[in-house]
Structures are given as C-alpha cells and as structure tokens.
Amino acid sequence: MLVVADNINAMNPIVSRAMESLDPEPIQELAKACVQKGTQFIDINPGYLSRRKEDRMAFLVEAVQEVVSARLILDSPNAGVLARGLSVCKATPFLNALSLEPQKLNEILPLAVEHGTPLILLIMDAKSFTPPTMEEKIAIAVELREHCLNAGLRTEDLVFDPVLPSLSWDDAYLRISEGLKAVNLLASGAVFSEPVRTMIGLSNLRSGQKTRYSIKIEETCLALFAGAGLSMALMNVLKSELKPTIDLIRQIVPTTTD
C-alpha cells in the first residue's frame, strides 16, 4: 500500500496563503515534511480556481517538484486546471479524478489519454452521486473502465476510488463496509480479468468533524482497507497518530513503488 499525502490542499491555511502571495517556501516546507514522513506520492489540490487563477496549479507543481522527487497527483474537477499543472510537470503525474459526470468524461478523460497519465476513477454516477452498496459501486466501476478503455487507456492506468463518506452521514458505516467489499473484489481480480489498483481518501471520514470523531476511525479503516488489498491511501501524513498503523501495515503487507 502506497501512502499519498493530501496536505498540499487549498483547505490548508498555509497552502491558501502561499497561493495568494505566490510564496513557494511554505509549500516546499510542507512537501519536504511529507516526504520525511515516508509518503511516496503528493496530491496537489488547489481547490476551486477561477480561470484567471488557473496558473496556481502550475505554481504549486513547480514549487513541490523543485524540492522533492515524490510522484505527483494533480487533483481538480476542472480540466483546465489539470492542463496547467501538466504543462509544467517534469514527470508523468496521476490525474485525480474522473467520474461518470458528462463534463469530466468529455474533458478530463481526453486529457489523460493525450498525456498518457494514470487516472483515478471516483466511483460516482453522472450526477456526482456515490452509491451506498457494493453492487452499485462495482457497476459504476465497470462502466468507468469501459469508457477509459474505449478512449485508449489501459486497465493498468486506472485507480478505482469507492469514495469514503463523511462520518456525519446517517449511513456512513454501511458505506464504509460496502466500500471495503468493493475494494476487496477489485483488488482480487474478481471483477475484471485481473486485479486493479484502488485508492481511498481517508480524510473524507472526519472532514469538518475532527473534534467530534476520534482519529481511531482513520487508523481502523486504514488497516481494514490495507487488508482488503488497497493500493493507495490518501491521507494527512503529518498526523503522527497514523504512523504506527502505517508502519505496521508496511511490515505485514508488501509495498510496491509502481
């Protein structure tokens, strides 16, 4: 299981201030801290950007890759923002993310094909809704894969994300359980003719609710999903409470660098 840092995110006040002032130093200090914690990937999420500020993605990419060699994931629902990041990447990044929303199929999927980038697939329907059950999640995963293969990507280019819920949702624990089943099936090769890569956004669970819910839920889910064959975990790598769980997982579950 590979660790992906979600710390370079516009919701982080350090990042938002640096983006406003175009000061790369705070971004670079964050990136170095993430790598020191053992992350193999850094997700770069500039948040919502007006067309006038789409260059902020390029600013973040350039700042990060100047000081670390961790692989990058460009994270935006806007194809224009992703394109600005791609234009300055030294190495091929992942794009985050595609769903069944028509605009994303029409704009983000061709971008991934053009640049030959791996693509994260959010298991969400055309209305940006993530279904609760494993069966519905797998059905969307199959449809997303078909779109990608028809466009020219390969199965090995794809990473499937079942989309973890906020714990504030009434059916949150059901959704976690069903997402776990979906990851197990996808990772085992039971859905397609081969195992596929999977990812979860661990921070989704307590987003906006960190005082209400203990970080223990993140530790527990991380261990459960790793056991199910999870490939990548997007998380706040600077949370020291998660490190013992990550270290234990790495001892038990072999980690690749692919």
Q: Which two tokens stand for residue 141?
A: 């995963």
Residue 255: which pLDDT band, with cuts at 50, 70 and 90?
low
Strand-pairing partners, residue 98, are 121
Backbone angle region of 25, left / alpha / beta, with phi > 0 → left and psi within -120 to 50 → alpha: alpha
Section 96-109 average pLDDT = 98
**CA atoms of 83 and 80, how far apart (whole Å):** 5
**Structural contact between residues 93 and 119, judged by C-beta atoms closer than 8 angstroms:** no
Long-range contacts, stretch 54-59, CB < 8 angstroms, 24+ apart = 54/78, 54/80, 54/81, 54/84, 55/84, 56/19, 57/81, 57/82, 57/84, 57/85, 58/84, 58/85, 58/87, 58/88, 59/19, 59/22, 59/24
Instruction: Look at residue 72 in the predicted model and tell me its pLDDT.
Output: 98
Cα dist from 99 to 50, 53, 161, whole Å:
21, 24, 10
Instruction: Look at residue 217 in the predicted model and tell me its pLDDT.
Output: 96
Higher pLDDT, 209 or 85: 85
Instruction: Please count the other Cβ atoms lying within 10 Å of the Cβ belonging to residue 83.
Output: 20
**CA atoms of 69 and 115, how far apart (whole Å):** 20
Of 71-80, 82-91, 246-255, which range is least confident?
A: 246-255
- Average of per-residue pLDDT values in the chain: 96
Instruction: Look at residue 62 in the predicted model and tell me its pLDDT.
Output: 98
Q: Strand (E) positions, the chain?
A: 2-9, 41-45, 71-75, 94-98, 119-122, 158-161, 197-201, 232-235
Give the domains, in start order, of the chain with CATH numbers.
1-91 (no CATH), 95-236 (3.20.20.20)
Phi, psi dihedral angles at 41 (to 5 degrees): -130, 150
**For residue 253, is pLDDT > 90?**
no
The pLDDT tens digits for 133-166 are 999 999 999 999 999 999 999 999 999 999 999 9
Section 183-201 average pLDDT = 97
**Structural contact between residues 27 and 64, judged by C-beta atoms closer than 8 angstroms:** yes
Pairing status of strand 197-201 against strand 232-235: parallel
The pLDDT tens digits for 41-56 are 999 999 998 888 889 9
